[in-house]
Amino acid sequence: MSAFDELMAYQRETEALAQVAGRLGWDQETVMPRGAAPQRGEEMAAMEGVLHARRVDPRIPEWLDRIDEAALNPVGQAQLRDIRRSYARSSKVPAALAARIARVTSEAQGIWAEARAADDVAAFAPTLTEVIALKREEGQALAAGGDVYDAMLDDYEPGARAAELEAMFGALRPELTRLREAVRAAEAPPVLEGRFDAETQMTLTRQLATTFGYDMSMGRVDKAVHPFSSGSGLDVRITTRTNELDPFNCFYSTIHEVGHACYEQGIDKDYLLTPLGAGVSMGVHESQSRIYENQLGRSRAFTGWLYGQMRDAFGDFGVADEETFYRIVNRVSDGYIRTEADELQYNLHVLLRFDLERALMAGDLQVGDLEAAWNDRFEADFGYAVDRPSNGVLQDVHWSVGLFGYFPTYSLGNVYAGCLNTALRRDVPELDAQLAQGDTSAATGWLRENVQRHGGLYAPRDLITRATGEQPSEAPLLSYLTEKFSTLYAL
């Protein structure tokens, strides 16, 4: 067996164990008994210890030294690129620190959930302080004298830098604010009223999942407080949530997570359990979930089809026609929750978090001042005050589990989705006619061919450039949002 074959066999075992660790996280979010949290923290720490040891195994650089990289094809070279990157990063983080982070963040998730339910920021503050201290220590080790936040961002969006994102977001923010203010001054569409049975929602939401190409033979749909997608390859699971007063929460959360899941299911199976066998970055991942949810799922064409499905499922639910339904689905509304925000205002929620977490990591903002900073920024951005912590600083799980550097990838994903939507509509001119029949196959097939199948083969920005023929830019997203909402609100 060649050195390359030995390394890849070893890597497949590491990737398989990482999938097992991920399944523990899925279980914790869905069916784990609440009282099991302390034990689960120990289990996660033990798994992280095993994984960290494998990622820094001294045989890895020995194998790398023995491999003639020039003799490999581009896929093999890309596998080595990612293995080198993982080894270099993991080697900088002490094993004891990696295990402690896994243990503390696993336990912190339960503490956050209880604090959120009780609207008690003080109950979570000590734990968040500990998580931040540990993540800052990890970031300093990874940065090796460089920018700590950039080092953390690189975990989720390889090659991205905070200064570049700041410039991109700086171009987004004033235009989004201007458009939002114009929309809020215009006549608003009606709101959806009535009650919608939760079990009927789940039946329809599973239909929506398969409509967008989710393979249920290798997946499942469960309920969780915070919808998410988990896994890759042959076992990719999603969660959603129901609200009897707001079925769109369920349906569009599901379509969003299906975008993530279809990315993982669509990756070339030759990459299974290898470094290339997962989405290349969270920004690209988010581009798939957002284009499925918004540019496809909230389009006038698709909502016309969804209107018929809802009438079949719920009977006459008080909406007279497809156009009214389309306007209701895309209604711009005041609200506190990022995951429930309309697509016009969503990025403003993300930019708030991006700025605050950079300040936390830099030490410019302390946990004791975080709630006030959040509330001040929210009121400045949205024009009204946060009413309670669960609608403010406690609403997201990300900081409790140490995902610093993750939030900006949500807006970057929206930017990528804007670029992909422009290219998709250029290449599939009959797209709307197909979506009006509930047929997403041309759209999802285009995305699978141009983005999903490649997995981690190409760097994120290179992947989007190859798919669209253009360098990523915020301009297509702004153009799409301006045209859509100016038409919807007759601006």
* Cβ pair 415, 479 in contact under 8 A: no
User: CB under 8 Å to 320, separation ≥6 — which residues?
Assistant: none
User: What does the alpha-carbon distance between residue 221 and residue 202 come to, in Å, rounded to a whole number?
Assistant: 9
Q: What are phi and psi of 223, to 5 degrees?
A: -100, 145
Distances 38 to 42, 46, 104, 400, 402 between C-alpha atoms, Å: 7, 13, 10, 15, 17
User: Residue 220 half-sphere exposure, CB side, CA atoms within 13 Å?
Assistant: 8
Q: Which tokens belong to 49?
A: 């210890």
Distances 152 to 18, 80, 164 between C-alpha atoms, Å: 20, 22, 15
Distances 482 to 178, 348, 368, 393 between C-alpha atoms, Å: 10, 15, 39, 29
Spatial CA neighbour of 438 closest among 287, 266, 255: 255
User: Residue 423 half-sphere exposure, CB side, CA atoms within 13 Å?
Assistant: 22
User: What does the alpha-carbon distance between residue 386 and residue 369 come to, in Å, rounded to a whole number?
Assistant: 15
Residue with tokens 């209701």: 328
Number of CB atoms found within 10 A of residue 51's CB: 20
Q: 103 exposed, middle or buried (CB, 10 Å; 0-12, 13-18, 19+)? A: buried
Amino acid residing at 408: P
Coil, helix or strand for 189?
coil
* Cβ pair 311, 317 in contact under 8 A: yes
User: Residue 132 half-sphere exposure, CB side, CA atoms within 13 Å?
Assistant: 21
Describe the strand order of the beta sheet including 221-223 as a list of residue ranges.
221-223, 235-240, 229-232
Catalytic residues: 257
Q: What are phi and psi of 232, to 5 degrees?
A: -155, 170
